[in-house]
């Protein structure tokens, strides 16, 4: 994605949101449902945005962000329960890193925007099992020689075979653990 000014980025997002918003508002109006106050709707849309992450985050981890906190991750996963989110962390079907003060952070790029995690990422997360989650996150965003210099995250988004990337993840995780 080309670097844009914040204003250009917002304009681009608004161009994408406007038709969807109009469709939903028409649906609500056609059913006679009350429309939310504009400010309430704006707050709701803003709540879905990731946080920049802790200010004191080590610069080595900057490429992992922006992050959602647990409340944001719950929202991104379709308002699942806290227990369901904890289960996803335990089963390693979501990438979550714990800060020194006990806060969970979830890289925003793993979420699909419609209630899920990018499916291609799940086998790779499982292949990185046993590796510190911060190390797993860094592995996902660092350039990889076996992926033509792309990061595993970039390769997956470009359509790389998840099984191939998971194989690299297993190999590299084993090497890091040795």
In this prediction, residue 56 carries a pLDDT of: 52
Q: 6 with 79, same domain?
A: no
Q: 74 with 20, same domain?
A: no
Q: Taken in order 19, 20, 26, 29, is the CA torsion positive or negative?
A: negative
The answer to pTM > 0.85 is no
- Which of the two residues, 40 and 174, has the higher pLDDT score? 174
Q: 91 with 52, same domain?
A: yes
Q: Is the pLDDT of residue 47 over 80?
A: no
pLDDT-based confidence at 117, cuts 50/70/90? very high
| Structural domain harbouring 96 | 47-177
**Structural domain count, the chain:** 2
The alpha-carbon radius of gyration of the chain (Å, integer) is 18
DSSP string, 35-56: PPPHHHHHHHHHHTSPB---TT
Q: 137 with 81, same domain?
A: yes
In this prediction, residue 14 carries a pLDDT of: 82
Q: 1 with 87, same domain?
A: no
Which helix (H) or strand (E) covers residue 105, if one does?
Answer: strand 104-107
């Amino acid at each position: 994605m080309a670097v844009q000014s914040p204003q250009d980025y917002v304009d681009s997002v608004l161009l994408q949101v406007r038709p969807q918003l109009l469709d939903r508002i028409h649906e609500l109006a056609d059913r006679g449902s009350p429309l939310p106050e504009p400010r309430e709707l704006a707050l709701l849309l803003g709540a879905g945005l990731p946080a920049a992450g802790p200010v004191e985050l080590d610069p080595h981890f900057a490429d992992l962000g922006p992050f959602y906190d647990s409340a944001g991750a719950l929202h991104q996963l379709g308002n699942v329960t806290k227990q369901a989110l904890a289960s996803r962390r335990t089963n390693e079907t979501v990438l979550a890193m714990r800060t020194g003060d006990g806060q969970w952070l979830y890289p925003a790029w793993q979420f699909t925007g419609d209630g899920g995690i990018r499916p291609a990422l799940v086998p790779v997360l499982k292949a990185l099992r046993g590796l510190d989650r911060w190390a797993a996150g860094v592995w996902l965003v660092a350039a990889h020689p076996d992926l033509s210099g792309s990061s595993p995250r970039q390769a997956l988004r470009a359509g790389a075979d998840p099984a191939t990337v998971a194989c690299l993840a297993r190999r590299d995780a084993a090497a890091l653990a040795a």
